[in-house]
Structure 1
Amino acid sequence: MARHSVIEDTPPPGVLIVGAGFIADHHGAALRATPRARLAGIVDVDAGRASAAATAAGGVAWSTDLGEALARPDVDAVIVCTPNMTHEPIALQVAAAGKHLLMEKPLTITVPSARAVVEAFDAAGTVVMAAHTHRFYDYGRAVDDAIAGGAIGRPVFARLAMLGGWIWPDWRAWVLDPAKSGGHALHNGVHLLDLVSWWLRDEPVSVYARGRKRTAEELRIHDYLEMHVEYAGGASAVCEMSRGHRPSTIDRRDVLVAGTDGVLQLPAEGWGSPLVTESGASLLPPQAANGFAVQLDAWLDAIADPAAERAMTPADAVRAVALGVATELSIERAEPVTLDEVMGGVLA
């Protein structure tokens, strides 16, 4: 995605970050590194945390009152990095204020609330995008570029595994409460579900999933997920997501996409991706970029030209929520769940 220079007479949009956790640090770093936007301030319910983050960012404005911050004339857009259960009310407040929004995934934790958010931004005439950052990481773009270029023909199967260790500070973390996070499928599983659907270029129709509590039976979420997705055009995908592997420092990612004309495989380590076709084997060139910076550019592109094709559409964000919800329901019922059921009969 091309970067665009800032017209000298037009000040770059001011972006407010809501939530001062570790993900906000990544978004803030991307903002400070681009001339296309500026960090206008930080909002957090904890005054000490908001103040400390604002000081670390160079002394920008901070507040504990989102309404007050949204009313400032120098705030044009918002990046939200708060717990999942807060996403809908914050998004609706941002839409009502007429600001653009980049929402950390998932967009919300239910399909009706995701739709309500999209409708609110449609009515306001402003841009909403879910921050599914893996679409903008090197490996995500390298695989998609190869598929788009016809390297493996029509993709018919994908396998994606992300195996990691425990990352949460303690048992009180909001992520471990499914009422707050939506469950592990909505918090972390959506990374994989969104990616394979993007790569396969097909509409998901059902999910059959299994969850395990690898760390301890006392967990209220499944920290290990197996998700099998079937698609309208006949493709399928198998996703494996874990935050319960040992040692806790493990960080393994495996990618395989099979098509009618070849197989693309990304090794667990390194960026040289093997591509195997009837013509032989070759390597995809590595790509090096900051995923948060690339994602920020895509959002700013959408703000600059709302009519242009988007790298992550509102429909994509709603579909990701639906896939996460279907996964959680499938685990609960021990049977496949259709997207038609969780989407209420509307798949687009």
Structure 2
Amino acid sequence: MDIDAFIAAHRPAWDRLDHLVKHRSSLTGAEVDELVDLYQRVATHLSIVRSSAHDPMLTGRLSALVARARSAVTGAHTPAWREFVRFFTVSFPVVAYRARWWWLATALATTAVAWVFGAWVAANPDVQAVIGTPDEITQLVEHDFADYYSENPAASFAGRVWINNAWVSAQVIIYSVLLGLPIPYVLFQNAANVGVSGGLMASRDKLDIFFGLITPHGLLELTAVFLAAAVGMRLGWTVIDPGPRRRTEVLAEQGRAVMSVALGLVVVLFLSGLIEAFVTPSPLPTWARVGIGVLAEAAFLAYVIGFGRRAARAAETGDLERAPDVAPAA
């Protein structure tokens, strides 16, 4: 094969392909079709050169050109580390930020229920008598409540706490498929349990111990549960009121958003479990333990607001970059 004649005959096609690859982000429809056609032709040229000529420089040039064209035609895979970074800087925080009013309402309503139960139990000896005998309540208040956080090895306890908290969050997320209707009941049960414990502690003037033990880990833990409940109920509401978009498209988008929160909360609840296992029962003074809990809560909220607001302003939804069910619409 006359290599010089081959180059002279096909150089315009190679140069044109190189130009299209360099400007692939702004191609018209016809130019995209031309790019695909030239990619196939130049790949054939590369095969001919490899089998009929011995010109390493030409082979290298065409190999590089075909590789870049293949990337432009088929799309390059995003590195795993970029997906990881995007998840924690965009997907998770923006979903939490967009659900902030549902999140806030869930937190306020659940806290109010817990306070009502606590005040009711603390002020009514008859209610306390139904819950347990005076000796049982004394045992709980004086020993069991505090011993719960230190009776098991810290590492083992952290694992148990993580699994339990993750299960509660998973429950409220799973219930989103039922329009989120069971979620308020799950929250009510948890609020009632916390309120009853607080009421019993308050009835024996142990409220300082109650908050000293529950605040370090409870702030972050309950915030995570409230977030899971909020996105679950928001998904249920999407079925009822999808807005101007197609119901299936909005439901799929919100469903993927719920899964983003579920995965993100695995990390948040893990940190909460570590605090509950290693900080709550530690010999640190109460102000130090509570301070650690407040710092963890403030850091999490700052993270969500900072990254979430920035992503929301960039019109991010937390959905997949190339969602399979999103179609252009006028």
The answer, yes or no, to whether TM exceeds 0.5 is no
Q: Give the TM bin, normalised by the shorter chain.
A: under 0.3
Structure with greater helix percent = 2
Structure with greater strand percent = 1
Higher relative contact order (CA 8 A, sep 6+): 2
TM-score in terms of structure 2 length: 0.21
Name the larger-Rg structure.
2
TM-score in terms of structure 1 length: 0.20
